[in-house]
């Protein structure tokens, strides 16, 4: 007997579209694969920007992962709500965010919060606010290893900044953060060489600080593309995020990684504009609209369909003459980039054994939960 495709939902008629659906069994398998791929679970610091939900976070906690990374105050608060005890806000806070971070520290005193800085002026502001709140904030220096969006290039200036941070009463420098998301060469051997070259000055800075008498800096490195490389590197924390749901982009671009696609968008044919085209309810508001139009989503049960137009609530697809699609047909879409797609939905529906079993609220898509 032919096996039913893993993604089909038996009671899909009860699911309005567009909808985000998550397959928890595949999420659990991805967490297992992640832990299996590193020598020590304590070296994992997954980024929660992909899932933004308490339920996915709790599955990681149940599996023994204790450290996390996030991009927003809301994500940091969600982690604290879930019982995480070590949270790195991988972002340099402005004054307003500093106030919110310090409030979180006061409300969750058992959580070890930290954030990024890349200059002395910001660090001084943070120190001043922390002193007023009778707190000390752990900080990582954000290193620019080629991403060229934030951070400081790993030169001697970093060593000088680290020493200056150590003199501020409300600041405690603990390490480096180096995100190398620009390294995506499809040839894994070349990606490895690029990654090693980008990491070398980070290690040299760490060694220099130890030689000056500092405690060995904690080094938080990488994302999904370089995770398997850093996982084999001793003494660093690794921060993949997309692994938990995976997506078409990484499935294609990172074939050496075994993670399963676990998040889809459900859409329906809502109109047949002419003899060759179909229109579905998957607009800009329902799937990440970055990148080239034809690469935003691939339909698992209709891979031949090609996107030719998209607006806020509609996606027009070329099906060709003689196609058999009808209004009401359900399509299962695999997003090219799952992280911003998840952020478009206030909730995801869980699917287990072919049935809709519940909802995971995307609680951290909001800019504010309570703090």
Beta bridge partners of 277: 274, 318
- Angular region, 291: left φ>0, alpha ψ -120 to 50, beta rest: left
Supply angle C-alpha 59, 245, 306, rounded to 5.
Answer: 160
Which among 244, 268, 289 is the end of a domain? 244
Q: Are residues 183 and 291 in the same domain?
A: no
Query: In a structure prediction context, what are the per-residue pLDDT tens digits for the chain, which is 371 residues long?
Result: 678 999 999 999 999 999 999 999 999 999 999 999 999 999 999 999 999 999 999 999 999 999 999 999 999 999 999 999 999 999 999 999 999 999 999 999 999 999 999 999 999 999 999 999 999 999 999 999 999 999 999 999 999 999 999 999 999 999 999 999 999 999 999 999 999 999 999 999 999 999 999 999 999 999 999 999 999 999 999 999 999 999 999 999 999 999 999 999 999 999 999 999 999 999 999 999 999 999 999 999 999 999 999 999 999 999 999 999 999 999 999 999 999 999 999 999 999 999 999 999 999 999 999 99
Q: Are residues 337 and 222 in the same domain?
A: no
Residue 6 lies in a domain: no
Residue 194: per-residue pLDDT = 98
3-class state of residue 96 by DSSP? helix
Maximum Cα interatomic distance, the chain, rounded to a whole number of Å:
74
Q: Are residues 225 and 348 in the same domain?
A: no
What are the two backbone dihedrals, phi and then psi, of residue 28, each rounded to the nearest 5 degrees? -60, -40
Residue 7: per-residue pLDDT = 98
Residue 263: per-residue pLDDT = 98
Residue 85 lies in a domain: yes
Q: Are residues 183 and 68 in the same domain?
A: yes
In a 10 Å sphere around its CB, with 0-12 CB exposed, 13-18 middle and 19+ buried, how is residue 185 labelled? Answer: middle
CA–CA distance from 357 to each of 12, 27, 338, 349 (Å)? Answer: 12, 15, 21, 7
Residue 351: per-residue pLDDT = 98
Residue 278 lies in a domain: yes
CB-CB contact of 79 with 85 (8 Å):
no
Residue 72: per-residue pLDDT = 98
Residue 3: per-residue pLDDT = 86
Q: Are residues 140 and 236 in the same domain?
A: yes
Q: Are residues 184 and 59 in the same domain?
A: yes
Q: Are residues 86 and 227 in the same domain?
A: yes
Q: Are residues 323 and 234 in the same domain?
A: no
Q: Are residues 360 and 263 in the same domain?
A: yes
Domain that holds residue 263: 12-19+259-365
Q: Are residues 48 and 127 in the same domain?
A: yes
- When divided into structural domains, the chain yields a total of 2
Q: Are residues 112 and 82 in the same domain?
A: yes
Q: Mutual orientation of helices 120-132 and 156-165 as an angle, nearest 10°? A: 20
The CATH code of the domain that includes 82 is 3.20.20.10
Q: DSSP string covering 55-102, please?
A: HHHHHHHHTT--EEEESSHHHHHHHHHHT-SEEEE-S---HHHHHHHH
H or E segment to which residue 156 belongs: helix 156-165
Residue 241: per-residue pLDDT = 97
CB-CB contact of 80 with 369 (8 Å):
no
- Direct distance between the N- and C-terminal alpha carbons of the chain, in angstroms, rounded to an integer: 54
Cα–Cα distance for residue pair 159/197, rounded to 1 Å: 19
Residue 118 lies in a domain: yes
Residue 76 lies in a domain: yes
Which among 197, 221, 244 is the end of a domain? 244
Which among 244, 275, 298 is the end of a domain? 244
Find out whether the peptide bond into 281 is cis, omega within 30 degrees of 0. no
Q: DSSP string covering 359-371, please?
A: EEE-GGGSS-S--
Residue 1: per-residue pLDDT = 60
3-class state of residue 312 by DSSP? coil
Cα–Cα distance for residue pair 137/105, rounded to 1 Å: 9
Q: Are residues 234 and 263 in the same domain?
A: no
Residue 345 lies in a domain: yes
The CATH code of the domain that includes 318 is 2.40.37.20
Cα–Cα distance for residue pair 98/362, rounded to 1 Å: 24
The closest alpha carbon to 21, from 232, 368, 330, 253, belongs to 330
Residue 251 lies in a domain: no
Q: How many CB atoms lie within 10 A of CB 125?
A: 16
Residue 249 lies in a domain: no
């Amino acid at each position: 007997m032919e096996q039913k495709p893993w993604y089909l939902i038996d009671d899909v008629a009860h699911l309005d579209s567009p909808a985000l659906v998550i397959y928890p069994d595949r999420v659990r398998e991805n967490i297992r694969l992640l832990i299996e791929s590193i020598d020590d679970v304590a070296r994992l610091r997954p980024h929660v920007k992909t899932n933004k939900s308490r339920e996915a976070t709790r599955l990681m906690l149940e599996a023994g992962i204790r450290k996390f990374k996030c991009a927003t105050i809301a994500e940091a608060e969600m982690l604290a709500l879930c019982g995480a005890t070590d949270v790195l806000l991988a972002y340099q806070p402005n004054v307003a965010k500093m106030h919110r971070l310090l409030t979180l520290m006061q409300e969750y005193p058992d959580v070890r919060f930290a954030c990024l800085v890349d200059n002395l002026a910001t660090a001084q502001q943070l120190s001043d606010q922390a002193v007023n709140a009778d707190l000390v904030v752990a900080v990582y220096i954000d290193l620019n290893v080629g991403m060229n969006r934030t951070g400081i290039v790993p030169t001697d200036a970093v060593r000088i900044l680290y020493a200056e941070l150590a003199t501020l009463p409300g600041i405690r420098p603990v390490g480096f953060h180096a995100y190398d998301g620009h390294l995506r060469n499809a040839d894994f051997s070349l990606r490895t060489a690029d990654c090693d070259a980008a990491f070398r000055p980070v290690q040299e800075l760490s060694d220099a600080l130890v030689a000056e008498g500092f405690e060995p800096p904690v080094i938080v490195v990488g994302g999904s593309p370089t995770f398997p490389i850093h996982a084999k590197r001793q003494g660093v924390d690794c921060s993949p995020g997309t692994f938990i749901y995976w997506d078409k982009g990484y499935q294609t671009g990172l074939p050496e990684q075994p993670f399963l696609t676990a998040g889809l968008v459900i859409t329906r044919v809502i109109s047949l504009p002419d003899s060759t085209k179909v229109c579905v309810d998957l607009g800009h508001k329902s799937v990440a609209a970055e990148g080239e139009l034809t690469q935003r989503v691939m339909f698992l049960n209709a891979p031949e369909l090609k996107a030719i137009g998209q607006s806020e609530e509609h996606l027009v697809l070329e099906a060709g003459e003689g196609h058999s699609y009808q209004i009401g047909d359900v399509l299962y879409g695999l997003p090219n980039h799952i992280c911003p797609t998840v952020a478009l939905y206030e909730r995801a529906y869980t699917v287990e054994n072919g049935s809709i079993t519940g909802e995971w609220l995307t609680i951290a898509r909001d800019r504010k939960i309570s703090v």
